[in-house]
Amino acid sequence: MHLLILGGSGRTGKLIVEEALSKGHSVVALVRSPASFPLGARPGLTLVEGTPMKPQDLQKAFAASPKSPEAVLVALSLKRVSDSPLAAVDPSNPIRIMEDSVAKAITVMKEYGTKRLVIMSQWGAGDSFGSMNILFRGMFSHTNMKYGLSAHNNLDKETRKTEVDYTFVRASVLADGDAAPIKLYPDDGKGINFLPKVTRASVAKFMVEACEKNDFIRRSPVISN
């Protein structure tokens, strides 16, 4: 498949790029600085400089290969002042960067006939909030984590109104480590354990696999290890 990845230079995004390339897919990654992209040059990888907030940059990414992308994978997140999920949102972060980037991408997808969209979301978004225990509900309601959850909720609601074949991958608490077997839960997260975690590599693997089959079209599975 030919894939376009937004957010490919992030901690999970670069793993998505690596996973897709390892499976023989060709990849275009729209990144702010190709020269500093952590993976460097790779066969099958095309780097396009730009941001998904600018339609003209998205157009460049879609046109970077003779073949239109068969799927768009999104691993965007709010930039914070540190790597801590409790850190404040960086004041340089554009308002609605996630929601508007995806909306602009969907507009270009329609022009190129691309239907498949796989978005890295988070456990707690949408109807999965009720599956969180009281500790997590408090953290996502009363700390800086609420801003990321709000963005994912907006993105979820707005994307569902479009005609794309979306999948929201609602990842539980992110951790480092190798890819491990996935525990799959329904869209509302019912049955998930008390302190669920999932490695970023596992999320990357699941997202690429979601593009390769039709099991999760217009679904929002919750995942953990």
Which pLDDT does position 91 carry in this prediction? 86
pLDDT band at 117 (very low <50, low <70, confident <90, very high): very high
Give the mean pLDDT of 123-129.
97
Strand order of the sheet with strand 222-224?
Answer: 45-49, 26-31, 2-6, 71-74, 116-122, 165-171, 222-224, 183-185
* E strands, the chain, in order: 2-6, 26-31, 45-49, 71-74, 116-122, 165-171, 173-175, 183-185, 197-199, 222-224
Which pLDDT does position 36 carry in this prediction? 80
Give the mean pLDDT of 139-150.
94
Give the mean pLDDT of 133-148.
94
pLDDT of 6 strictly over 80: yes
Which pLDDT does position 110 carry in this prediction? 97
Q: Which sequence spans correspond to the domains of the chain? A: 2-224
What b/e string do you get for 51-80 counting C-beta neighbours within 10 Å, with b at 16 or more?
bbeeeebbbebbebeeeebbbbbbbbbbeb
Which pLDDT does position 204 carry in this prediction? 98
* Residues 202 and 19 sit within 8 Å (Cβ to Cβ): no
Which strand (E) or helix (H) includes residue 208?
Answer: helix 200-212
pLDDT of 132 strictly over 80: yes
pLDDT of 95 strictly over 90: no
Give the mean pLDDT of 29-46.
86
Give the mean pLDDT of 40-48.
88
Which pLDDT does position 203 carry in this prediction? 98
Which pLDDT does position 79 carry in this prediction? 84
Which pLDDT does position 7 carry in this prediction? 94
- In this prediction, what percent of the chain has a pLDDT beyond 70? 100
pLDDT of 68 strictly over 80: yes
- Mean pLDDT, the chain, rounded, equals 95
Say which CATH class 2-224 falls into.
alpha beta
Which pLDDT does position 60 carry in this prediction? 97
pLDDT of 41 strictly over 80: no
What distance in Å separates the CA atoms of residue 100 and residue 130, rounded to the nearest whole number? 27
pLDDT of 213 strictly over 80: yes
